[in-house]
Amino acid sequence: MPLDATDRRILAELQRDAKLTNVELARRVHLSPSPCLARVRALEDSGVIQRHVTLLDPRQLDLGVNVFIHVSLERQVDRALDAFESTVCAFPQVMECYLMTGDADYLLRVVVANVEALQRFIVDELTRIPGIASIRSSFALKQVKYETALPIDGAARATSSRPRAPRRRR
């Protein structure tokens, strides 16, 4: 779905605050409510807007330990990759999982309450997945930056910075 400047403004506002009423959103993006709602629905229907969530503070929930786990598999065949991915996706502690290039096959971001919870997760859950060759973990000492909003303006600049054909003089 091609996005125009108004769609990008809508997305930027909704990323900042998904609880905006349609009337307030319309006011902020300089539309009347009905066309604004139609655009939001089109963005949802096209899959640009996937879902609406509430962001929680993990420390307030006693989940202050952020761990990055590198997992290497014994074999990188489709069956082993699919089995690992489906198993890992079922663990609520795993916040993110990426298939990687480089030294490890997967990078997981795991959130737990403490070191003991991490140990239980690794020993009781992760190591029991068949086909794992190695597991290495790194604790995040400090979260320097955390964003959930995608850089919409940056995407617009990247697509608009393509070289253009020179204009002809008349």
65 plus 15 within the same structural domain: no
pLDDT single digits (tens) 103-144? 999 999 999 999 999 999 999 999 999 999 999 999 999 999
Average pLDDT, the chain: 91
- Report residues of the chain scoring pLDDT below 70: 154-170
Q: What is the pLDDT of residue 167?
A: 47
Q: What is the pLDDT of residue 128?
A: 95
CA angle 3, 31, 158 (to 5 degrees): 25
Q: What is the pLDDT of residue 1?
A: 74
CATH number at residue 29: 1.10.10.10
What's the number of domains the chain is made of? 2
66 plus 100 within the same structural domain: yes
70 plus 95 within the same structural domain: yes
CATH number at residue 132: 3.30.70.920
* End residue of a domain, out of 37, 54, 71: 54
**Domain carrying residue 68:** 58-139
HEC letters along 67-113: EEEEEEECCCCHHHHHHHHHHHHCCCCEEEEEECCCCCCEEEEEEEC
